[in-house]
Structure 1
Amino acid sequence: MRRVDIRSFLTPDRARKAGAFAVVLLAHGGVFLLMARTHPTPPPLGPAPLFEVQLFRPVPPPPPPEEPSEDPGGGAPAAPSRVHVPPPPREPVPPEFPAPREQAPEPELAVGVASTASPTPGMGLGGEGTGSGTGIGSGDGPGRGSRTGPRNIREPALQALRRYHPPEALRRRVNGTVVVNCRIREDTTVDQCRVVSENPAGQGFGEAGLRAAVAEYRFRPATVDGRPDFDLRAVITIRFGRNAP
C-alpha cells in the first residue's frame, strides 16, 4: 500500500484556512453549550384557581296584552245628516234716482208805482250808469320768439360711406338712397333713428343708413329764443354710390 504524505497537502494557505475553520467550529460549540446551561427552567405548576358561580332564576315574561273584543255595532245612533240649503237670491233693488230739482217760479216784476200801499217794501227797477277803472296784469299771446332749425356740423364723404354699403348690393354695383329721422342729443350725436324711405327697397340700404347716421353724422340742435330745442328732429338723406337715385 502506498503511503500518502499529509504534509504535501497542507500548504500554508490550506493550513491557515483549516485553523480558521476549527476556531469557528469551537466558537459555535461554546455558544450552544452556554445557551443550554442558561435556559430558564419553567416555574412549578400550582393548584388551579377556584371560581364561584351563582345561579339566578330568570324573571318570567309579562303576559301578552288582551286583544280588544269586537264590538257588534252598539252605541248611540248617528245623528241625521243636515243638508245646507243656501237662501234664495234676493231680487235686485232698482237704484233710486233723485227727483230733478224744480226751479221756483220767478216773480213778475211790476214797474211803476203801486196803486195801493203794502206793509212790506216792494221790488224796484235799478238804474243805469257809467264808470271807469284801472288794473295791471300779465297775459299770454299766440306769438313765439326766434327759432332756428338743426345745423349739420359733420357729414361723411362718399368714400367714408362705402364701408356701410350693403355687401351684396356693392358686389352687384347697386346704389341706393336712404332718408332717416333721428333725435339730436346734447353732445351733437344722434339716436332713436328710424327709416323714412329707402330706394331701392329690400337691398339692405335701410339698415346701412341707420348705422351710418349714428356713427358719421353730427348736428347742432334747433334753438328757440337761443335755448336748445331737442324736440325738433333731424332728417338725414344718405346716398350710397356716386350715381345713387
Structure 2
Amino acid sequence: MTIAGTARPKVPQRRRFGLGLLVLLVHLSFLPFLARVSAPEPAADIPPPVEVVLVSPPPPPPPPPPLQPAVVAGGGSPAAPSRVNILPDPPPVPPEIVAPPVQAPEPSIVVGTAPYADAVPGPGLGGQGTGSGGGTGAGRGPGRGGRPLLLSGPSVDQIRRVYPRAALNAGVSGRGLITCRIRLDTRLEDCRLVEESPPGRGFGAAALATAANFRFRPPTIDGEPLAGAEITFGVDFDAGQVRGRR
C-alpha cells in the first residue's frame, strides 16, 4: 500500500550555504554588543584597609629622686645650727584690789629708811628743840596741797616674788618707771609702764606688779584730798639686795 504524502521541496545546496553564512554574520555583529552588556562594571574605589594594632600602655615613670641640698662652693666652717631663745613667762599680775565703799582710815606714817632705793623721797625723823610762841586764829584760803606723799611700799620679800627669774639668776639689776592714779583710799589704779631698763628683761611688768603694794597720800586742794591725781615713780630691783636677803 502506498501512502501518499507531501514531499519537502529540495533547497539547493548553494542557497543553504548562503543562509548559514548570513546567520553567522548576524551573530558576529551582536558579539560587541553582548560583550559590553556582559562586561562587569569597574569596581568603585575602595580605600586601603586600615591595620589596627592594640598596644599596651607604657608603665608609669618612676618617681623623681628626692632633692639634694645644693652644695655651695667655698671655704669656711659649716654654719652653726639655729638656736631659738624663748623668753621666760612674765610673772603673774596680782588681781586688782577693789576699794571698800567706805574710805579706809589713814595709816600711820612709817618713820625710818625705805627698804629699797626709790625716786620719791620718804618721810624722815625730825630733830628736837625748845622754843616758845603762841597765836590764835582760823582761816581758809585758796591753795593746793603739796606733792603726793609716799606712805608705804613693797617689802624685800614682795620685790623678790615679782623679780624676773632669769635676771635674778644672772644677777642683773633693773628699774621700771610707771605712772598711776592715786585713789582717796591711798591705793593706786590705772597703772601703765613708762620705761624699763635694761629693756627686754621683764622689769617693766615686775614694776607694774608691785603697784598694789604702794600707798600714797593724795594731794589736797583747799584742804580736801584730790582723787585721781597722777604720780610717776620708779621701782628699783637690786639683785644683790634681794639675793642677800634670802
Structure-2-length-normalised TM-score: 0.38
Q: TM-score, normalised by structure 1?
A: 0.38
Structure of higher RCO (CA pairs closer than 8 Å, 6+ residues apart) = 2
Mark the structure with the bigger radius of gyration.
Answer: 1
